[in-house]
């Protein structure tokens, strides 16, 4: 049986400090000889050369991400899905693409500006990447606009929901808008003119704006002005009878109120995307909080990376925007209005159940709901009897993880709670439980990751609230993000101190737990509890223990451990024993792990990958990856769990945890994978993967060119799991 620790430190972390400019990981890193294979398998030079001769074996990670967002767009085009859900997928596509430009495209631009000409693993130079990304993303943006205007708008109209422009409003509807403008919108607006006394105003990232040209009626002098569309109002204004008009149309129609005595000649909407990634120096951990707050202020003033304009914009006005904003013409996207379709979330939220997915209510896991009494089940008693493998959102987060922490906070026998927090909701009951525990005199340690991208401000706020309540708040290790999902409860029981542990694949966020598919393990296993206790000590103290009995922990042992398990499957296959690898993850980019999977495929090991997002592995290449298939499932819930499954000669090994197979996860984050104890929980994971890879299950499949094609099978994974959950209920 392989040793779970695989704690070799022989693999050097050669990556740079940013994902954009670091060299790739060493492709063939050999884990320590802790795997029970006779003899231990290590690829020889010929086997390594047989993989490395395929110089184009890695797909480009950035292009792969665009292909993922294309799959999101294809959901919006899928007429078998409820109409308002398709509108929501349009909003999700828009939000995804915004973040892609703010972080990934901005990073490539930064590399080009710095003169860094290092090729990506795919072989593309930064400038080549940028050109291809712009070509593909522009096609997707135009397709996105067409789906909205040509498909979703007419179909919504057929269902009595209309998104119209100002000219389509009747007189009564225009009166509603005029009243709204006068009473609520006008007091908020601030027109900003551009003239010798007024420089061109700063345009904040992702804000929607009106570029206005006004003329003095006597002198005929023309002036440019900018009016920001206030984000505090609904993106689409309700005018009655499920009819909506874009907010900027209401403002445009009333611009004379903002420029009295002037003639309004033109008004066009535009939107700027800026570099909003953070660069925080972490040499001094004590000043990290202040440094991050300072950087958050700087984020608002990042350089532009994209300018979106309505296709009706006047060329002179566009030239002015390009000049004043400092964007290249290649960074301009001319699109049919309305811009910024993130606001379609409000349309998708309309109370039209006939146009949405059927209502779904998670149920309490069977081990946590054995006796229906007037008081909740004792989570500690249930976990002492059986490990509990949770599968959200099918298993209720509220009656499992949340109840576990709330019960711990109220239980007088609980001595301490230790918790990691990466992202959580604004009204989090998890935060409340930790505060209650601290106020009750329990020792409460919270590892708050304040560098969680785009949640930094919220996490700083929660960190301070926890500190004020008496919790011990730590920001993790310098240079590493704490991304692992851990909760540890120390309880004084008649037979001594016992540790209860939750290890998950998703955040401690009750809201996203209803939308994200994730796994979690509740266990009283002493070995797991001791490992997690050591890890918390590493995170809060100065020790650097890197060996664990039941965990793989990044950056020390996740890559080595997984490669070692892959090599063990190669050894099994070579010895005539049953072998196979199945992995479910958000992304696979790490070259060392991909090369190990290629080597396994060349040896004949079956490899199944279920990857929601980015995949840099090229499957189905003759002589390289013929036994590898890659699938992707998107749907009602965001597939978020990470699972690593190895056949192991008929005695399967299964790991779950927080780590994706990306450089940032394996080298610059604290991540945890836990091995599930043998028995029914391992079998349950096997059944889940069997269903996912069933040929009749609907999924996208990746070919060796990097293209994804939908295999619209008879079985839809998430719908099948909902059906199974309802039968259990």
- 3-state class of 641 per DSSP? coil
Do 531 and 666 form a contact (C-beta atoms < 8 A)?
Answer: no
Phi and psi dihedrals of 650, rounded to 5? Answer: 85, 0
Catalytic residue among 367, 483, 573, 716: 483
C-alpha pair distances (Å), 440 with each of 201, 420, 465, 666, 696: 52, 20, 16, 38, 54
Helix axes 83-100, 61-76, angle to 10 degrees: 160
Do 476 and 445 form a contact (C-beta atoms < 8 A)?
Answer: no
- 3-state class of 231 per DSSP? coil
Q: Does residue 268 have an active-site annotation?
A: no
Phi and psi dihedrals of 263, rounded to 5? Answer: -95, 125
- Neighbouring CB atoms inside 10 A of 412's CB total 9
CA nearest to 384, candidates 518, 523, 573, 564: 523
DSSP state of 103: I
For every residue of 646-695, DSSP letters joined together read E-TTTS-EEEEES--BSHHHHHSEEEEEEEPPSSHHHHHHHHHHHHHT-T
For every residue of 153-187, DSSP letters joined together read HHHHHHTT-EE--GGG--HHHHHHHHHHIIIIITT
Do 413 and 442 form a contact (C-beta atoms < 8 A)?
Answer: no
Rounded CA-CA distance 654/673 in Å is: 10
Rounded CA-CA distance 599/626 in Å is: 11
Helix axes 591-603, 558-574, angle to 10 degrees: 10
Q: What is the C-alpha end-to-end distance of the chain, expressed in Å?
A: 37
Rounded CA-CA distance 332/329 in Å is: 5
The angle formed by the CA atoms of residues 41, 643 and 628, to the nearest 5 degrees, is: 60
DSSP state of 394: T
Catalytic residue list: 483
């Amino acid at each position: 049986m392989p040793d779970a620790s695989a704690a070799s430190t022989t693999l050097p972390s050669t990556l740079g400090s940013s994902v954009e400019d670091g060299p790739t990981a060493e492709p063939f890193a050999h884990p320590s000889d802790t795997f029970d294979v006779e003899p231990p398998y290590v690829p020889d030079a010929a086997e390594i050369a047989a993989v490395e001769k395929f110089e184009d074996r890695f797909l480009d990670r950035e292009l792969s991400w665009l292909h993922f967002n294309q799959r999101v767009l294809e959901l919006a085009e899928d007429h078998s899905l409820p109409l308002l859900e398709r509108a929501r997928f349009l909003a999700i596509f828009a939000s995804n693409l915004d973040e892609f430009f703010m972080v990934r495209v901005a990073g490539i631009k930064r590399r080009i500006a710095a003169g860094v000409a290092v090729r990506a693993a795919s072989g593309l130079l930064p400038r080549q990447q940028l050109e291809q990304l712009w070509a593909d993303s522009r096609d997707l943006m135009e397709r996105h606009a067409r789906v909205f205007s040509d498909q979703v708008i007419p179909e919504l109209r057929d269902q009595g929901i209309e998104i119209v422009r100002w000219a389509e409003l009747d007189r009564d509807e225009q009166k509603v808008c005029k009243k709204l403008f006068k009473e609520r919108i006008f007091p908020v607006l601030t027109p900003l003119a551009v003239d010798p006394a007024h420089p061109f105003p700063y345009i904040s990232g992702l804000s929607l704006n009106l570029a206005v040209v006004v003329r003095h009626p006597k002198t005929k002098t023309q002036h440019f002005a900018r009016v920001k569309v206030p984000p505090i109002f609904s993106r689409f204004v309700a005018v009655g009878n499920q009819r909506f008009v874009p907010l900027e149309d209401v403002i445009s129609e009333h611009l004379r109120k903002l420029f009295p005595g002037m003639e309004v000649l033109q008004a066009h909407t535009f939107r700027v995307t800026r570099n909003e990634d953070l660069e925080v120096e972490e040499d001094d951990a004590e000043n990290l909080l202040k440094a991050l707050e300072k950087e958050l202020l700087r984020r608002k003033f990042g350089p532009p990376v994209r300018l979106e304009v309505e296709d009706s914009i006047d060329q002179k006005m566009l030239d002015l925007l390009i000049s004043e904003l400092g964007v290249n013409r290649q960074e301009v996207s001319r699109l049919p209005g309305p811009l910024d379709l993130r606001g379609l979330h409000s349309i998708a939220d309309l109370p039209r159940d006939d146009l949405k997915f059927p209502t779904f209510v998670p149920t309490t896991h069977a081990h946590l709901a054995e006796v229906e009494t007037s008081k909740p089940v004792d989570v500690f008693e249930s976990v002492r009897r059986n490990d509990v493998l949770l599968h959200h959102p099918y298993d209720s987060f509220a009656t499992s993880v949340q109840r576990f922490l709330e019960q711990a906070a109220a239980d007088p026998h609980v001595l301490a709670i230790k918790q990691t927090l990466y992202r959580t909701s604004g009204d989090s009951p998890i935060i409340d439980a930790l505060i209650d525990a601290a106020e009750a005199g329990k020792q409460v340690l919270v590892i708050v990751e304040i560098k969680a991208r785009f949640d930094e401000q919220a996490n700083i706020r929660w960190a301070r609230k926890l500190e004020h309540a008496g919790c011990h708040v730590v920001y993790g290790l310098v240079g590493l993000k704490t991304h692992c999902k851990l909760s540890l409860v120390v309880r004084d029981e008649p037979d001594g101190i016992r540790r209860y542990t939750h290890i998950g694949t998703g955040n401690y966020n009750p809201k996203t737990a209803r939308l994200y598919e994730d796994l979690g393990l509740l266990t009283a296993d002493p070995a797991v509890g001791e490992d997690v206790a050591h890890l918390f000590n590493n995170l809060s103290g100065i020790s650097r223990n890197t060996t664990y009995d039941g965990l793989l922990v990044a950056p020390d042992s996740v890559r080595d451990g997984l490669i070692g398990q892959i090599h063990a499957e190669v050894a099994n296959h070579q010895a005539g024993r049953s072998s196979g690898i199945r992995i479910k993850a958000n992304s696979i980019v790490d070259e060392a792990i991909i090369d190990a999977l290629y080597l396994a495929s060349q040896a004949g090991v079956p490899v199944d990958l279920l990857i929601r997002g980015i995949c840099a592995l090229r499957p189905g290449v003759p002589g390289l990856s013929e036994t590898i298939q890659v699938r992707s499932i998107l749907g009602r819930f965001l597939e978020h769990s990470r699972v690593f499954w190895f056949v192991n000669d008929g005695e399967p090994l299964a790991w779950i945890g927080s780590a994706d197979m990306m450089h940032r996860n394996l080298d610059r984050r604290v991540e945890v994978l836990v091995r599930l104890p043998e028995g029914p929980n391992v079998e349950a994971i096997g059944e889940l993967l069997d269903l996912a890879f069933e040929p009749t299950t609907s999924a996208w499949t990746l070919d060796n060119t990097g293209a994804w094609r939908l295999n619209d099978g008879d079985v839809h994974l998430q719908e099948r799991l909902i059906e199974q959950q309802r039968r259990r209920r």
